[in-house]
Each structure stands twice: as structure tokens, then as C-alpha cells.
Amino acid sequence: MHELPAVRSLVTAVVRAAGGRRVRAVDVVIREPSDVAEEAVRLYFELLGRQTPAEGATLRLRREPATCDACGHTFGAREAPPVACPRCGRPVYGGGAGGLWVESIEVVEEP
């Protein structure tokens, strides 16, 4: 399952950002082109988050369409990069890490 390394990086980034505080929720953007399966991301996030401050955190996922750098066209692309832009045919590359980006995290502020 190719989502595993991407989610491992994600959990590492979340734990680092939390700075030792418990994580309540994480907003993650799947930037297309990306073929990651949301169910797999959720499963691995739960598994890899165990015994970390991210354990039990709510994972909110949303997909963001791909944007062609050459012509600016945006389009849905649920496949691994590079994909051809449907308007101009130029290759569109993903941002790496399976297209997973941490947008924000909510932590529990303990007194």
C-alpha cells in the first residue's frame, strides 16, 4: 500500500507541530494529482498515531483539484502524477508525499 510512507510523514509532521500537546483534530488536503485512497489514509493515520499525541485525533480530509502550471486549468485527477492536463496536454506533477498536506491542526491546551 503506497499510502503508508506518505501517512507516516504526515503523522510525524503532526506530532512535531503539536509540540508535545495532544492533538484533537487535523485538517489534511489531498492535492491532486494523487491516487491516495482516503480510507487507507484514515486507517494508517489511526494505526501510526497510536502511542503518539495524535492518537484518537479526528482526521478531516478534503481533496483539492490539480492545477496546470502551463495554462492554469484546474481538474480532478485521482491518479498518480504526472498526469496530462486535459486542456493543453502538458504534464502536471504532484507535490510529493502522495499529495498529502497538513493544513492545520487543533491541539488540546492543557492547563
Binding residues (CB under 5 A) for Zn ion: these are 68, 70-71, 73, 85, 87-88
Find out whether 5 and 48 touch, Cβ atoms under 8 Å.
no
The tally of CA atoms less than 13 A away on the side-chain side of residue 95 is 13
Distances in Å between the Cα of 110 and the Cα atoms of 18, 33, 53, 56 are: 12, 39, 13, 17
CB of 99 to Zn ion, least distance (A): 18
- From the list 96, 110, 105, the residue with the least C-alpha distance to 11 is 105
CB of 32 to Zn ion, least distance (A): 14
* Residue number, 1 or 71, with CB nearest to Zn ion: 71
* The three cell numbers locating residue 28: 489534511
* The three cell numbers locating residue 33: 494529482
CB of 74 to Zn ion, least distance (A): 9
* Residue number, 36 or 92, with CB nearest to Zn ion: 92
* Residue number, 71 or 108, with CB nearest to Zn ion: 71
* Residue number, 56 or 65, with CB nearest to Zn ion: 65
CB of 72 to Zn ion, least distance (A): 7
